[in-house]
Amino acid sequence: MKDAAATGPDAREARRPLSRWTLFAFALPAAPISAMGLPLAVHLPPFYAGTLGLGLAVVGTIFMFARFWDVFTDPVLGIVSDKYETRFGRRRHWIVIAVPIMMLSVYMIFMPPGEVSALYLIGWLFVLYVGWTLLTISHMSWGAELTPDYHERSRVQGAREVALILGMVLVLTLPILIEMTAPEDPASARVASMGWFVLILLPIAVGLAVWKVPERPTPPPVHVPMREAIGALVSSKPLQNVLAADLISGISGGLVASMFIFLAEDALQLHRYSSLMLLGYFISGVSFIPVMLWLSRKFGKHRTAAYSALFNAASVPLILLVPVGNAWAAMAVWILCGVNMAAGPFLFRSIMADVADHDTVRTGQQRTGLFYSMLTMTNKIGVAVAIFGAYTMLDMIGFVPRGENSQAVLDALRAVYVWPACIISIGVAAILWFYPIDENKQRENREILERRGLERIEIEAAATAIAARTAHPSDAQSSGVPAD
């Protein structure tokens, strides 16, 4: 198979901007992915802890251990995604395989049969995370391989981020509708509606993507031993930068997501406006993605992500100023915080595609799936640590979900929500500021890979000609070409 980085007409074709239809079809599966991920961080922990009565400490521990399960599954599934290629390509068949795994586990977790045990929750979470990991890694790796261009990769991941946020926006409208109809058990109805949203949209989105978006040719898969896979993490400085930033960014995001319902409903007394706050936050995020793409072209991807983190550190403390019960003030703050909420996630994924190129230059192997598995793994670890830490801290300050809490406890809840996220954002900016691969370095890497691809094609062509002459020496002699 020819290297996708070949020079000449193939390289020029590869660098052409992808059509909007291609970007739409590719990005669409991200909508049900996010529609499932948002409830896992925001709605399901309070639902199982409060409505189903498992308790804060138990649910926090379960979600932490379920996320740490991905420490094992993420790199394994990343290596598998890189290694086993079919006639349909390297990524699409894994996406299709993940769909039934996710659909079954979503049904069991979002629509539990009455009373459930801790064992029930952790068992189905493990199954869900296997399917989710396989789908997410394969989809992100596919996006990284759609184009070799530095800025076009940001456009691909930006389109995916738009689909992710729109999935969140759509799934957030469901709790608003449920709250308006006010059923007897609104929490169960909210969670079940989100589950049905995923069950309906997921097979449609995946079917359209794998049908309409072809994969670019890639070099034949190379076996990567586990020791060498771990060595990639140890030896690559750019990889370490991205993973460290993503890890602590995941902790920050997990803290604010897992405590949002408690902050909005108990501390700020927003009640039925709580879902509207998230809706405004995500709409703001998707609206500013074009701005973030423009900034990344002007300042570079890693610097733009660093500026975004600093903006987050400055805007989150404004939550401390929101008066109790003032939905308008809360909406204004959450819209401001949402301005850059999408920048980090899609820029990290675009940057990781450049890291994978850098690794290919150094090692001669294409391990995009492995690298993206590490990216999803660090984020999940961060979220797991955050949920466990947040619920443990809430237990320590004496917070009671939807119960009687003193003003001191509610003030402590605000502080726990704001200051860790603020400090972590400053740390993310510091890590990314010295990230070593800018646009010029990435272009150098692509030129090296393109030269290698051309050399490989020339060698393969020469080998084919020699084989042909060896197989048909009379033809070679009649044409005046020596057989040897």
Dump pLDDT digits (tens) for 387-441. 788 888 888 899 987 778 899 999 999 999 999 999 999 999 999 998 999 999 9
How far apart (Å, rounded) are the C-alpha atoms in residues 76 and 224? 11
- Whether residue 45 is predicted with pLDDT greater than 50 in this model: the reply is yes
What is the DSSP-derived secondary structure letter of residue 323? P
How far apart (Å, rounded) are the C-alpha atoms in residues 476 and 171? 67
454 — pLDDT class (breaks 50, 70, 90): low
Q: Which residues pair with 86 in a beta bridge?
A: 89
Q: Output 247 or 85, whichever has higher pLDDT.
A: 247
Q: Are 63 and 388 in contact (CB under 8 A)?
A: yes
- Whether residue 165 is predicted with pLDDT greater than 80 in this model: the reply is yes
Task: State the distance between the two ends of the chain, measured CA to CA, in whole angstroms.
Answer: 26
pLDDT of residue 8: 43
pLDDT per residue as tens digits for the range 184-212 = 656 777 888 888 999 999 999 999 999 98
- Whether residue 463 is predicted with pLDDT greater than 70 in this model: the reply is no
Burial of 217 per CB tally in 10 Å (0-12, 13-18, 19+): middle
At the top level of CATH, the class of 21-451 is mainly alpha
3: nearest Cα among 443, 450, 371: 450
Residue with tokens 């703001």: 284
